[in-house]
Chains A and B, each alone.
Chain A
Amino acid sequence: MRRTALVGNPNCGKTTLFNRLTGLQQHTSNLPGTTVEAHHGKFKLPNETIELIDLPGIYSLFAESDDEKLVVQHLLGEGVEKPDAILLVLDSSNLRRNLLLQQQLQDLGYPTAAVLTMQDSAKRRGLALNISHLEKQLGLQILGINPRKDRQLAAPISLFLEKLLNTAAPELPPNDTESKLQRFHSGEKIKGLSLETLLRYNRIESILSACQTQESFGWKSFTLKLDRWFVHPVVGFLAFFAVMMILFQGVFTLAEGPMTWVEDAFAWASAGVESFLPQHKASGLITDGLLPGLAGVVVFVPQIFILFFLIGLLEDSGYMVRASFITDRLMRKIGLNGRSVIPLVGGFACAIPAMMATRSIRNRSERLATMIVVPLMSCSARLPVYVLLISLAIPAQQFIGPVPAQTLVMTSAYFAGIIVALLIAALFKKFHPSQERSEFILELPAYQRPRLQTVAQQAWMKCKSFLQEAGSVILIISVALWALSTWGPGDSMNQAKIKAEQAVQELECPEDLEPSEFQSQLESTFRLEASYAGHIGHAIEPAIEPLGYDWKTGIALISSFAAREVFVGTMSTLFQSSDGNVSGIRARMQKEIDPHTGKPKYGIAYALSLIIFYAFALQCISTMAVMKKETGSWTWPISLFLLYGAMAYLGAFIVYRWSLGFLV
């Protein structure tokens, strides 16, 4: 299959075009540096199918950051196959700067053609272009398109690309492309390259003066009017704070309805399955293991979708770049960069894409520091844990001053992560000061109306991959957990039954429970305690007791080191809430009594301690794997795992002791 690579400046619409042509849903947004890896897709030409390669945006072939280097590697064919042709994407509203890359590329000998995007915004800036003149001047076939709006893009582009692929590449001496690219790659002769760039701009200037006219330099734009507020010293920061608040509040209020539907659907399915299956031990695998485990994940899809959707809107409108702009000064002081804000906010959704998004930060220390603190942003996988624990221990009607106590605890959990992240970054800077130059140099794209449909589709894609990944982890863990909690060593399970019968005689039945219910609850508690899972839980209990956790929590804690969202599923399996929803587990946990004291087991100190533990601990194998890939070794992921684990333990201990003395 022949390959065509999409090359162009950041934020000129490459990925939007790629998605249109291939039908894929790669992440697009209105900020430079959205694409940080190569995407591959298929596109049909009249007589063949070709592979399209979407590459990160670059301003020039002089590559410094990892996303820029990736483009040069593709053009060199380093570790990948070279493309057969290049489709250059040119932003018409910024033609002068875009043509620099065109000038550099044309020396490389690839068959090249160009598409012009953003002609509407060029018009708004008073720019008029004669395309056929430009074609002649550049010796390049050019097609004007609008990948955001044109529904009929495939036909003209397939003809255009077919023609391109059938043009013979210009004859060049062997290894000419390589030697030309190496010049940029080595990056040693910056002085020479600067001079070359100035000369290229001279040529561009003379080309453009022949085919582009500009009405006036005056520029009354909507963007500037909005920016007056968004970068205002007072209003700007208030707006940033308000945007974040709306983000978090929206996640809860908007998701409430859909979450109940999912819960109801699972309760209904679970009841159906239970009546359908024969009474057999193996049926328990489905009703007590799989279903509650899955429900524990699926129920949070609405929240995760809304979180991704709202962050998507912020990125697609162009606001996130302004957030970078106003925070750069502060971020610089603690060894980060204004650009770090984008991955950090993205980290509230998921640390994995956020780690990759740091590629566009050029300074290696700033990039590393950003990656180090990204896992401290409370990601969507922690939401389920927070929601369960908060609703378990804090009544919805309780207020602290004018603020609902539940909201206050949730906000504090997020802020605990943010504040610690800033502190860690500052410490990192102190002990690991950067030797490289730090730069900001960031294009501020014009605001645009967010593409609701696109943002929604992309948020849904992320939910799907969350479901697939979490789903498979949960599948394995819930089966293992079910087996471990169904069987026990020797005849311990039989003895548990006898013990439970004795306990029923000795303990008083609580008033709100039927005696039969009380007996079956005690029995299942004793059986679980006697099972393999119980033995494991009891083995680690001494280590977690100072934090206020019992052995059941211990099992959930261990299983969520694979992925945090497993916590809720595990708890629902352990508490045998077969309807598997939050209120079901919560009801079970609230009813849970200490068999030795007869009092409720899971109070507010327990919940706060666990929330802090989850806020800090690095319980995500995928995040560690991505960090290993991005940093090139296991040193950082393992060090962070240990450091954040220790912080989680210490933090949970302090919070537990403090709230025991304070709140109960």
Chain B
Amino acid sequence: MPMTADQLRNGESAVIASLHEGDYRLRLAEMGCVPGTRIKREYQAPGGDPIAFRIDTYLLGLRLEEARLIEILPEDKGGNA
């Protein structure tokens, strides 16, 4: 089972591996959540949802269900997907 972005802990970073199919895929891609991009979980709203991620150089708030669509790889392995 590959890891998804919601499973990161605050302060942890990774590299985006792929996006799940579905309606959110295009929106996430447009916002820069594309394979090879570095992603870091910064903090979450009370109750753990939504979550603020750093995507490359900016902060993006995503709901849990949206973050679950982003598959990630540990930083050292990714980077050229």
A residues sitting closer than 8 Å to B (CB atoms) are: 59-60, 62, 93-97, 100, 122, 125, 127, 190-191, 193-194, 197-198, 201, 205, 214, 217, 219, 223-224, 227-228, 231-233, 236-237, 321, 324-326, 328-329, 332, 338, 437, 439-446
Residue from the list A60, A201, A329, A442 in contact with B60, Cβ < 8 A: A442
Question: Does A96 contact B57, Cβ atoms closer than 8 Å?
Answer: yes
Chain B residue at smallest Cβ distance from A212: B57
Chain A residue at smallest Cβ distance from B23: A437
B residues sitting closer than 8 Å to A (CB atoms) are: 13, 19, 21, 23-32, 34-36, 38, 40, 42-47, 49-50, 52, 54-63, 66
Residues in chain B near residue A95, CB distance under 8 A = 57
Residues in chain A near residue B60, CB distance under 8 A = 441-444
Question: Does A325 contact B50, Cβ atoms closer than 8 Å?
Answer: yes
Chain A residue at smallest Cβ distance from B46: A233
Residue from the list A60, A219, A228, A440 in contact with B30, Cβ < 8 A: A60
Question: Does A442 contact B29, Cβ atoms closer than 8 Å?
Answer: no
Complex A-B: 24 CB contacts under 8 Å: A95-B57, A125-B57, A191-B21, A194-B25, A198-B34, A219-B54, A224-B42, A227-B42, A231-B44, A233-B47, A236-B45, A325-B50, A325-B52, A329-B47, A329-B50, A440-B50, A440-B63, A440-B66, A441-B28, A442-B61, A443-B60, A443-B61, A445-B59, A446-B59
Residue from the list A60, A194, A328 in contact with B63, Cβ < 8 A: A328
Distance A201 CA – B28 CA, assembled complex (angstroms): 12
Distance A62 CA – B36 CA, assembled complex (angstroms): 23
Residues of B contacting A: mostly = mixed
Question: Does B43 contact A439, Cβ atoms closer than 8 Å?
Answer: no
Residues in chain B near residue A60, CB distance under 8 A = 30
Residue from the list B36, B44, B54, B61 in contact with A441, Cβ < 8 A: B61
Question: Does A93 contact B58, Cβ atoms closer than 8 Å?
Answer: yes
Q: How far is the CB of B72 from chain A (nearest CB, A)?
A: 15
Q: How far is the CB of A327 from chain B (nearest CB, A)?
A: 8
Distance A197 CA – B30 CA, assembled complex (angstroms): 7
Chain B residue at smallest Cβ distance from A232: B46
Residues in chain A near residue B34, CB distance under 8 A = 197-198, 201
Residues in chain A near residue B36, CB distance under 8 A = 205
Residues in chain A near residue B32, CB distance under 8 A = 96-97, 100, 201
Question: Does B45 contact A194, Cβ atoms closer than 8 Å?
Answer: no
- On whether A325 and B29 interact (CB within 8 A), knowing A223-B59, A440-B62, the answer reads no
Residue from the list A93, A190, A198, A325 in contact with B45, Cβ < 8 A: A325
Distance A248 CA – B42 CA, assembled complex (angstroms): 32
Residue from the list A97, A122, A217, A324 in contact with B40, Cβ < 8 A: A217
Q: How far is the CB of B24 from chain A (nearest CB, A)?
A: 7
Residue from the list B21, B28, B57 in contact with A94, Cβ < 8 A: B57
Question: Does A194 contact B29, Cβ atoms closer than 8 Å?
Answer: yes
With A125-B57, A197-B29 given, can you name 18 additional A-B contacts, CB distance below 8 Å? A97-B56, A194-B29, A198-B29, A198-B35, A217-B38, A232-B46, A324-B61, A328-B63, A329-B45, A329-B47, A329-B49, A329-B50, A338-B50, A439-B66, A440-B50, A440-B62, A441-B28, A443-B59
Chain A residue at smallest Cβ distance from B49: A329
Distance A115 CA – B31 CA, assembled complex (angstroms): 21
Q: How far is the CB of B40 from chain A (nearest CB, A)?
A: 7
